[in-house]
Structure 1
Amino acid sequence: MSQETFLTYQKFNDQAAASELAQFFGENGLAYELEDSSINFDVSFAYSELNKEFRVKLRSTDFKRADELLQELSQKSIELADESHYLYQFSDEELMGILQKPDEWNAFDIVLAQHILQERGKEVSKEALAQLRSERLSYLREPEQASRFWIFAGYFCAILGGGLGMFIGWHLIYHKRTLPNGESVFAYTSNDRKDGNIIFVISIISVILVIAYKVLRHDS
């Protein structure tokens, strides 16, 4: 088992596309892991590509280099794009929206958006791009608020002594998400994580009490 920590860099529904990207990184000296995290059981019994998920994982320290490699590759492909590409129909504001949220777009679209803006006389400097990405990372670092339903469910299950309460509590406390730069941050707010701690502790106490009750009942 690898001692290095690999984080998800990009997700795909298509295995061939994921393998192609992983191979590209490998050819450029980046260590990677290709993980099949597909849903193995479909309750609808209907095959769907949406149930397929393949993750290309990299070391967090290699995220920046991976971005640079994809940007270089996209720069070489720009000459193949013409005005039939859908981004040419975007307004300047919509193109800027791509640059403001690069994590929601692929590397080619980002580079093409810059190219189109430049053609329209609205070039975005490297300093401005760096600022936009910094602002985006600051936004993404903000933890989200957990669903009140799941917190209520966590307390309910914890009191009943179920393992589900323990799982919900653990998830609220420790779940993290990976930012586009490879940084890992807690997903939920400090208040939600406090609720997670309480749920987890109550769950453990409840499980112990249930086991103790069953043991005493059996002995009697």
Structure 2
Amino acid sequence: MSNTSPNTDDFINYQSFFSPQDAQPLLDFLAEFEVQYQLEEIPELLGQPLIGDHLRAKWLLRIARSDIDNVNELLSKAAEQINDVPKTHYLHKFTNPELRDIIKSPQEWNPQDVHFAKLLLKDRGKPYE
């Protein structure tokens, strides 16, 4: 899946997802701001063990390197307007230590996920300080 032109050499990995459905809200957001992207299925590795495989993200969102700062800024501004994490958001499945890891490593997550991790910890009575 993509909304890009054929020349995508400057596209870099932005975020991974467990399913295309998990990625859809972000894809809709990117489309709203006319940001080109690619959503690619990550190929299975030969001989990969089955144990723990359900924990591995299988879809990769790629965006143009030149759009990274703009996308992060747009997501930060949009996230600040949200006070409740949507009930179907995948971060609800994360444990408190996993949510803290997101906050500690914001460069590995999109700004909305970092904001949502903070909201979830607050809702669980374990605010991040």
Q: Give TM-score scaled by structure 2 length.
A: 0.58
Q: What is the identity, as a one-letter code, of the residue corresponding to 1:54?
A: W
8 Å contact from structure 1 (residues 38, 51) kept in 2: no
Residue 212 of structure 1: aligned partner? none
Q: Does 1:17 align with 2:44?
A: no
Gaps in structure 1 of 5+ consecutive residues = 114-220
8 Å contact from structure 1 (residues 19, 34) kept in 2: no
Q: CA deviation at 1:28?
A: 1.1
Greater helix proportion: 1
The DSSP-based 3-state class of the residue aligned with 2:81 is helix
Larger Rg: 1
Q: Does 1:68 align with 2:73?
A: yes
8 Å contact from structure 2 (residues 15, 109) kept in 1: no
Cα 1:64–1:24 change in 2 (3 A) is same
Q: CA deviation at 1:42?
A: 5.7
Residue 55 of structure 1: aligned partner? 60
1:37 to 36, 42, 67: 42
Q: What is the identity, as a one-letter code, of the residue corresponding to 2:107?
A: D
1:2 to 6, 14, 36: 6
5 Å matches for 1:208-219? none
Q: CA deviation at 1:37?
A: 0.9
Q: CA deviation at 1:104?
A: 3.9
Q: CA deviation at 1:111?
A: 3.9
The DSSP-based 3-state class of the residue aligned with 1:39 is coil
**What count of residue pairs does the alignment treat as equivalent?**
103
The one-character-per-residue Cα deviations of 1:20-62 (angstroms, maximum 9, x if unpaired) are 3123201211011111114165655679433551111110000
Higher relative contact order (CA 8 A, sep 6+): 2
Q: What is the identity, as a one-letter code, of the residue corresponding to 2:74?
A: L
Gaps in structure 2 of 5+ consecutive residues = 86-91, 119-129
The DSSP-based 3-state class of the residue aligned with 2:82 is helix
The one-character-per-residue Cα deviations of 1:188-215 (angstroms, maximum 9, x if unpaired) are xxxxxxxxxxxxxxxxxxxxxxxxxxxx
5 Å matches for 1:46-195? 48-78=53-83, 80=84, 98=103, 101-108=105-112, 110-111=114-115, 113=118
The DSSP-based 3-state class of the residue aligned with 2:62 is strand
Cα 1:11–1:40 change in 2 (3 A) is same
- Percent identical among aligned pairs is 23
Cα 1:16–1:41 change in 2 (3 A) is farther
Cα 1:46–1:12 change in 2 (3 A) is same
The one-character-per-residue Cα deviations of 1:74-99 (angstroms, maximum 9, x if unpaired) are 11112x36xxx9xxx99xxx7xx93x
Q: Determine the C-alpha separation between the residues in 2 that align with 1:46 and 1:18.
A: 24
Cα 1:74–1:36 change in 2 (3 A) is same
